[in-house]
Structure 1
């Protein structure tokens, strides 16, 4: 009889001696004594048996559907599954295929009594798994109460000794102290990262420091000698263990608390400013926000507006409003302690002029004859790819039928009383969601004659649309930007537009004159840019 072996172990399995090699040896000896022919081993390394999210296990189930073997040999039933529901579900599926699951250490025959014994084995396996999880958590809690490292990579600045207690790494501790000193002076997290990178410092992985890395460092209470465990736990009602003065600090508690107060206060102020700005700009769409970047300092451009009150010659009060884009670092800010000011030198750009100019450039460049040909070819390619994907629905239909069979078998084992109603409903909902997903996939696309799509037809449609009222809508402008533009770099001398795909500007030269106010075009081999040297109305 052709059989396969299934082997799995977790970390505790290695300690108990149930290594992959030991399981395979036992299965081979068993098959030799029973005259079974082993055709393959499915091996799962360090995966939990409490769920069916196991690659080798799923491969084995798929091969079983093809009836490549008559039985699955395991060392113990808990190698197959420790979750009773999964064990019953997959054994039922295999039984329908006339495939047995045989345990070397827990032999069963075909008698009615063996059904009870098998359920007992499965129940004990699930109990062992849950009890083990509880004991592991208990062990971690005890280690936390002793302020011992609980696994993973120790935080930057520390290593651990044999007793898993934290020990300071002097070289890294100096960098941490440098970070807190700069933070005390009012440096932003990004500025601190740049400061370290410019001086050649590397993080634990040997990479450059990033803003998020600095942020995590500045809020890690371990650096002031406080041990915290359970703060990030996803378990409900998890108890946080916090021990003051648990280890040698790298940063004084005074400096740590001072730095965190500085940034908490700054965050609250900035949040309030953002809310005020949001209220002021309510109903105003700054279309280029998220695209426009300052070429002077690298910060994003944001929208703002100003109101000026004045009196007319007749003495009537008037309010003049103007809308601009400006660098987000434009406003001079005073640092917390030094009193120094800093601000970007980029001049403001009037909102309407800037947006109209960018959209005009896009329409003139993208919708010329050469680029329309490229767009048409790309559109045809995408349409054909989608149609071809929809032609062969066999696999999807087979998957829908497979799930229907699973639902029928699930109902059978529920009616037999093998699983409770709650477990039945959970699995039923899961399968129905999968089935509905596949049903959506087989909905056919409307038939399109791609040969009728030509540059001339596309040009005619575009011209007709641009002359209509719809071309002036916010929705159209946003769609145009998101489709074609990657980013826009602005400084006081030029504007550079980076498109999402290469564009052609001249049949003979990558650099060609653009017939609008001496603006000219550059086309890179890697990314297309529209480089504008001209006058944009500025504030």
Structure 2
């Protein structure tokens, strides 16, 4: 019997309560019973946003996944796991590396190639609808911003919120902030400054000890020169400055130099096909490899694991850039075309019809229909001349009820983005327009569409995450110079 854990989360909002988590836990527990899974632990984050992964219980769950304590993570829906696509992808990779499976119990993602594509779609649409929902909230926040008012979030060290919701300087902390900027400007390191502050018993605005991650954003915060900033709204001299502008500017120059050094040192190479490439001769996976020439230039490769470790296989080693480009160009030219995108969308909608609908959404729709029926009955009675003092009151109450139900239905649809053909077309066309000189965009394409890649010397066989009408997985076979040789699931092409 496999061991599982449950992760549940609710965010801030008028309809988000602890009952939201209780409902998630109940559904996940029922799923575990039905699928013979033993629940060993539950992780919950209350009143936490899903737009980033800075959640205590979530991070603890990721750390525990590396200890081999469980095999499966159950979440209610994919948007409970997160709404930021890039962070979700990275966190799912962490789980996979730890041999832990992620299951969304209410979205019933189907098995097979289309399941991977639908899951990727749901991640993208969760982010898309989250951004749409945020637009209405932003209108109010921008109004506050134009008045230099606090828009929520963490209040920086040295400030507090006044009664009229403006930032107010805590005068007793002013000398400490000036000292921090002065020490950094004079050459002190982050570590030395943190040790100095902690030794004096000074704590951050959250009551924690100072560390590098709290000090760096503090040194770049324009509030300390009296500037209010929210999104595109910037108001100078919005409140009294704590730090002299000349000192602040010198600190920014040093911070920028330090960041550029770190980025150059920590530059990460993303192997978009990692875990997806296999040798068609010996069956071993291809692994990431790198080498440095005499001139110091670094070259990145995909090499057969058997060839690398045991010297048995003679299959070709590919430059990372060459193989990545073969896969990207083939996919863009022969898969992400207007007619094929249309066919993929139709196929996904057919597959998706098997997924369970939200029982709560169904109830809301039924309740709305029932209330509208009652309104029509009252209107019919009025037309017949039946009218009492309570009739108008009852009619207004029903109209308000319909209005509230419509809002609840809209909110539920935002939580679970409807997988319509229009939404699928938006998502696939978005993939087509990504900037593939960016490593993260390459990685997104591979995670969404590429099922696997087989290498046989100069032959490159790309299997995709969708099937054609006879149920055979679509694939494209290319030569190493990226010319199509054979296709299946794609229309035959001749060169």
Q: Please, what TM-score do these two structures have when normalized by structure 1?
A: 0.31
The structure, 1 or 2, with the larger RCO (C-alpha pairs under 8 Å, 6+ apart) is 2
Q: Please, what TM-score do these two structures have when normalized by structure 2?
A: 0.33
